[in-house]
Each structure stands twice: as C-alpha cells, then as structure tokens.
C-alpha cells in the first residue's frame, strides 16, 4: 500500500464521514448535495491533516521511536519529516478552501469555526504545549469531531441549530473518542515513559478500558433521547458493540488491540448509516 495512504490512517476516516452523513440526514428536505460534499471534504481533510500532523510531531519528538501500532512515516524514515509536515498543511489547506466555499453558502462565521478546528488539529501533538500530551485529546475530539462536525454540517444546510442536532452530535463525538481511547490504551505502556500523559496513562489500563466501554454505551443512549421511534433501529448494531466491549475489557494488549480499533471504526460508520436511515424515516 502507498506510504501516504498508510500515513493518512484510513481506519480513522469513519470519524470524519459519520457526522456529515448523520447531520445531512437530520437536515431532511433542507439538505442539498453541494454543502454536504463541501462539509465532507472539510471533515476528511482535517482528519487526514491531523493524522499527518500527529505523525510529524510525535516523530520529531521521538515518541514514535518504539511502536506497537501501525507504522509511522516520520519515525520509520519512510518519509522525511518536512514532507510529512507539508502533507499535513496541504490537507489543512484543502479543508480551508472547502470550508471557505461552505461558508459562502451559509454563514461567514464558519470561517472562524474552521480556523479553530485547524488550530486544534495542529495543537493535538504540535507546538510547545500539545494538549494530547496533557490528557485532553478525547475532550477536543468530542468537541470538533462530534459537536462541531455534526452541528456545523447541520447548520451549513439549514442555517439553524436545534437541540436534536446537538443530541445527534453526541454519539458521533463519543464514538470518535472511543477510537482515540482504544488507540491510547494500546500505546499506554510506551506513552507513559515518553511523557505523553494521555487519558489512558492518567487513568491506568483498567479504568481506561471502562471509559472506552462507557463511550460506546453513551453513543446508544443519546439518540434515544431524541424521542424518535425509528432511532431504535440503531440498536441493531448492539451485538457488534458488545463484542468490541468484551474484547477491550478482556486481556488484549498492545498489537492485540489493533483489530478492535478497526472494528470500532467500522461500528461508527455502520451506526452512522443506520442512525441516518432512522432520521430520514422520522422525517417521513
């Protein structure tokens, strides 16, 4: 597989696709193809950009010198650090251009939101005080890949923010956090001596696994609060969710957790599709 595709971390892309799909379905008759496409480009560009930025920043800090997860471009020497950094900023640039187009169709305030998202993407592991090293990664992921991505996409198509759009953002944010949580559980043993104080490092292995389970469960509770009977369709995915939870709460460590990371991404995408279908049916 092409090294740049590997560096983009395809398994994490459901976190970018899911909120756009759900928000577009929630928008109903107000939804249109162009804003949805632009929102998807913004979301995917930011996800890929933050992945390259993380690869670059952790690589030059030496955090990725020993890995149990997928290979990293900078640390492995597959690509020069400057090239990886350039790839991150190209991705951010693509997202910024798409965001500019999206703002022109709805509200110029989205430019400020997009700028904040890009700064947050770079600040995860970049800069002097990366918040990912302080245990704030899950919080920022919930805000930007949950609230901002879902509510922002909904707003760009309807020019309003509703309570349902906020509720719909909760499972999107929680499942994105679950992806990060299992990634940090996998890397906890190496992150701690490297000074990377992720939530998994701060909580310890067992409590971090319980947090992962809680994030998955929250994803099912929030949509039910919308009071839409069709949303019960999301419960179809619970056997998959429970299987992942059992696996993560078990004895799997290091590389053994990688399959559960992939399955969590697949769960998020499947959940988003079924959730979206239920929202469309609710409009009918």
What pLDDT score does 146 carry? 94
What pLDDT score does 142 carry? 94
- Using CA atoms, how far apart are residues 259 and 93, in angstroms rounded to an integer? 32
Lowest mean pLDDT among 59-73, 123-137, 244-258: 59-73
Lowest mean pLDDT among 100-114, 120-134, 166-180: 120-134
Q: Alpha-carbon torsion 278, 282, 283, 284, what sign?
A: positive
- pLDDT, average across residues 219-228: 90
Contact present, 245 and 216 (Cβ < 8 Å): yes
Taking domain 3-283, whether its CATH number is 1.10.600 is answered by: yes
What pLDDT score does 127 carry? 82
Global model pTM greater than 0.85:
yes
Helix (H, G, I), strand (E, B) or coil at 119: helix
- Using CA atoms, how far apart are residues 272 and 202, in angstroms rounded to an integer? 30
pLDDT digits (tens, 9 = 90+) for 7-26: 888 888 888 999 999 999 99
- Using CA atoms, how far apart are residues 262 and 252, in angstroms rounded to an integer? 14
33-61 and 109-123 are packed helices; what angle lies between their axes, rounded to 10 degrees? 30
- Cα-trace Rg, the chain: 18
Length of the chain (residues): 284
Chain position carrying tokens 């906890």:
188
Q: Where are the alpha helices (DSSP H) in the chain?
A: 3-7, 14-27, 33-61, 73-76, 81-105, 109-123, 137-142, 149-158, 163-191, 199-203, 205-224, 238-249, 258-283
Mean pLDDT (the chain) is: 91
What pLDDT score does 68 carry? 62
Q: Which two tokens stand for residue 280?
A: 């469309």
159 conformational bin, left if phi > 0, alpha if psi -120 to 50, beta if neither: left
Q: Does pLDDT of 1 surpass 60?
A: no
pLDDT digits (tens, 9 = 90+) for 233-281: 999 999 999 999 999 999 888 888 889 988 998 999 999 999 999 999 9
């Amino acid at each position: 597989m092409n090294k740049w595709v590997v560096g983009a971390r395809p398994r994490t892309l459901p976190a970018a696709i899911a909120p756009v799909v759900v928000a577009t379905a929630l928008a109903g008759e107000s939804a249109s193809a162009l804003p949805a496409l632009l929102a998807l480009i913004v979301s995917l560009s930011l996800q890929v950009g933050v992945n390259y930025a993380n690869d670059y920043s952790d690589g030059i800090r030496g955090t990725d010198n020993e890995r149990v997860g997928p290979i990293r471009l900078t640390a492995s020497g597959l690509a020069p650090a400057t090239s990886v950094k350039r790839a991150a900023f190209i991705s951010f640039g693509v997202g910024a251009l798409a965001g500019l187009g999206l703002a022109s169709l709805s509200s110029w305030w989205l430019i400020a939101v997009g700028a904040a998202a890009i700064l947050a993407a770079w600040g995860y592991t970049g800069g002097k005080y990366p918040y990912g090293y302080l245990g704030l990664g899950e919080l920022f992921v919930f805000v930007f890949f949950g609230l901002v991505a879902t509510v922002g996409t909904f707003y760009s198509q309807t020019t309003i923010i509703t309570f349902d759009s906020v509720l719909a953002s909760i499972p999107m944010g929680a499942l994105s956090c679950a992806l990060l949580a299992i990634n940090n559980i996998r890397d906890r043993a190496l992150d701690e001596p490297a000074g990377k104080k992720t939530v998994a490092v701060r909580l310890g292995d067992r409590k971090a696994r319980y947090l992962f389970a809680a994030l998955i469960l929250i994803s099912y509770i929030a949509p039910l609060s919308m009071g839409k009977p069709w949303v019960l369709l999301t419960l179809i995915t619970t056997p998959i969710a429970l299987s992942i939870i059992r696996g993560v709460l078990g004895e799997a460590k290091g590389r053994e957790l990688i399959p559960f990371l992939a399955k969590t991404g697949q769960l998020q995408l499947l959940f988003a599709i079924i959730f979206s279908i239920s929202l469309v049916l609710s409009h009918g």
